[in-house]
């Protein structure tokens, strides 16, 4: 894969973060003042929370906290539950409230062998459910929090990257072949979260690629400019500075850096593929962010005691969430303006659609549809191939007998050619472009 690398500068670090929810979630390894503790906390990081312990924690929080609700939103191939936690100020937020206010969706452990994000999510759910301080209540009054605590339960049970079929869920956010990706697509369609925060882990390559936490925004060129800017701000002015203030090192995901100068050496990951969640989020007009904590033990203490390594991984995830919540509290108006404007811009049906490239890798002429058709016509066979997936994405379709017509003039304008144009690497089916609407 080719990269024409350039350094991306996203501005200076902000000054001290204001005290809105900046007390943040309690450290994962500290005892919660109220509510159940995770298996990870009970063992002081010696082991990860089991599925049974997760279910007990969520069920108890659902019973005891009026502001939280746990919904079963799907099942894996092996029958494990896929769950959505909804958290509001006085009661769980409805889909309508989420759609019409500031909101964040936390996606935890899409890769089953990357458990630290799941631990951070579980303790955060607990802390938000049981918090009694005014700052948390004010935060939740203005921001709805959605959490998928374990996005890949079968993979977590087996400690594998993929699901029970070996599929990498984070490469399935366009095709939607897996139950897990289909469930996430349905949540994003129904709730339209303004921010999608995706928690992962990575293996280090010292000395070029070994920071405690890496982050990356949507690089896909179909991401609206204002949404792209807010995602960059979330990463570079909130998440990374807060993590560094907590004593951890940070970097940009996918970029090797010279250990002496800090200058970029090469890009090894983090491109603009639309099928990856942080990019899918941008194409769907949400502020997406990927965060990755380092699994590799580098200090002697971490090598001697895996619990030390585990605690560092979870604590750095929690520090990243603290920065994200500060972003949501301080930039609520800007976030909502960016995402709403991006959705409305689709109705104008103007501008190119990009089939390749990234914000640091300009698209070639062949990767740009400079003058997109006004829509795509699907015959009966093509609609049978792609109809369910179009509905899960939230693409608006006009039925025409056994087939359908899909106009570009809609909020998900840029997504339509990615799914239906034969030139797209991720097309669901090949539909016929039409210039007559």
Considering the domain architecture, whether residues 317 and 390 belong to the same structural domain is answered as no
Nearest to 150 by CA among 108, 115, 179: 108
Considering the domain architecture, whether residues 379 and 277 belong to the same structural domain is answered as no
pLDDT of residue 222: 98
pLDDT of residue 117: 98
Which pLDDT tens digit goes with each residue over 201-235? 999 999 999 999 999 999 999 999 999 999 999 99
Considering the domain architecture, whether residues 269 and 395 belong to the same structural domain is answered as no
Query: Do the domain assignments include residue 394?
Result: yes
Considering the domain architecture, whether residues 118 and 249 belong to the same structural domain is answered as yes
* Residue numbers in the chain where pLDDT is lower than 50: 1-32
Query: Do the domain assignments include residue 100?
Result: yes
Considering the domain architecture, whether residues 378 and 417 belong to the same structural domain is answered as yes
Query: Do the domain assignments include residue 136?
Result: yes
Considering the domain architecture, whether residues 107 and 233 belong to the same structural domain is answered as yes
pLDDT of residue 437: 81
Q: Please identify, among 341, 358, 387, the residue that sits at the C-terminal boundary of a domain.
A: 341
Considering the domain architecture, whether residues 269 and 401 belong to the same structural domain is answered as no
CATH number at residue 139: 3.40.630.10
pLDDT of residue 27: 32
Does this model's pTM top 0.85? My answer is: yes
pLDDT of residue 302: 98
Considering the domain architecture, whether residues 61 and 188 belong to the same structural domain is answered as yes
Considering the domain architecture, whether residues 172 and 279 belong to the same structural domain is answered as yes
pLDDT of residue 77: 98
Considering the domain architecture, whether residues 214 and 113 belong to the same structural domain is answered as yes
Considering the domain architecture, whether residues 321 and 400 belong to the same structural domain is answered as no
Considering the domain architecture, whether residues 157 and 227 belong to the same structural domain is answered as yes
Domain count within the chain: 2
Q: Please identify, among 297, 324, 341, the residue that sits at the C-terminal boundary of a domain.
A: 341
Query: Do the domain assignments include residue 347?
Result: no
Domain that includes residue 77, residue range: 39-341
Tokens, residue 163:
């699901």
């Amino acid at each position: 894969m080719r990269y024409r690398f350039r350094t991306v500068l996203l501005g200076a670090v902000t000054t001290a973060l204001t005290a809105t929810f900046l007390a943040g979630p309690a450290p994962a390894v500290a005892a919660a003042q109220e509510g159940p503790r995770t298996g990870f906390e009970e063992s002081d990081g010696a082991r990860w929370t089991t599925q049974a312990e997760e279910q007990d924690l969520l069920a108890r929080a659902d019973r005891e906290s009026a502001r939280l609700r746990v919904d079963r939103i799907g099942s894996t191939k092996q029958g494990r539950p896929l769950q959505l936690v909804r958290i509001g100020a006085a009661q769980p937020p409805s889909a309508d409230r989420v759609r019409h206010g500031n909101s964040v969706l936390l996606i935890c452990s899409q890769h089953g062998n990357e458990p630290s994000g799941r631990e951070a999510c579980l303790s955060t759910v607990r802390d938000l459910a049981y918090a009694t301080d005014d700052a948390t209540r004010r935060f939740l009054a203005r921001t709805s929090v959605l959490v998928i605590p374990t996005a890949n339960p079968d993979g977590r049970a087996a400690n594998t990257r993929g699901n029970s079929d070996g599929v990498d869920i984070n490469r399935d956010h366009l095709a939607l072949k897996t139950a897990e990706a289909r469930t996430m697509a349905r949540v994003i369609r129904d709730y339209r979260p303004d921010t999608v925060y995706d928690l992962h882990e990575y293996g280090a390559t010292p000395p070029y690629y070994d920071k405690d936490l890496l982050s990356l925004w949507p690089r896909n060129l179909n991401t609206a400019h204002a949404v792209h800017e807010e995602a960059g701000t979330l990463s570079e002015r909130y998440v990374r500075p807060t993590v560094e203030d907590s004593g951890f090192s940070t970097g940009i995901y996918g970029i090797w850096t010279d250990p002496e100068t800090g200058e970029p050496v090469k890009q090894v990951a983090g491109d603009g593929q639309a099928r990856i969640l942080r990019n899918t989020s941008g194409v769907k007009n949400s502020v997406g962010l990927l965060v990755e904590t380092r699994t590799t033990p580098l200090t002697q203490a971490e090598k001697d005691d895996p619990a030390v390594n585990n605690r560092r991984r979870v604590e750095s995830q929690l520090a990243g969430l603290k920065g994200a919540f500060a972003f949501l509290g301080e930039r609520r108006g800007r976030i909502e303006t960016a995402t709403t404007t991006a959705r409305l811009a689709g109705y104008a049906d103007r501008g190119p659609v990009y089939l390749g490239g990234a914000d640091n890798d300009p698209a070639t002429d062949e990767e740009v549809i400079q003058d997109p058709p006004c829509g795509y016509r699907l015959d009966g066979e093509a609609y049978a191939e792609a109809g369910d997936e179009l509905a899960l994405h939230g693409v608006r379709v006009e039925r025409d007998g056994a087939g359908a017509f899909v106009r570009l003039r809609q909020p998900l304008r840029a997504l339509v050619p990615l799914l239906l144009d034969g030139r797209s690497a991720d097309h669901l089916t090949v539909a016929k472009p039409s210039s007559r609407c």
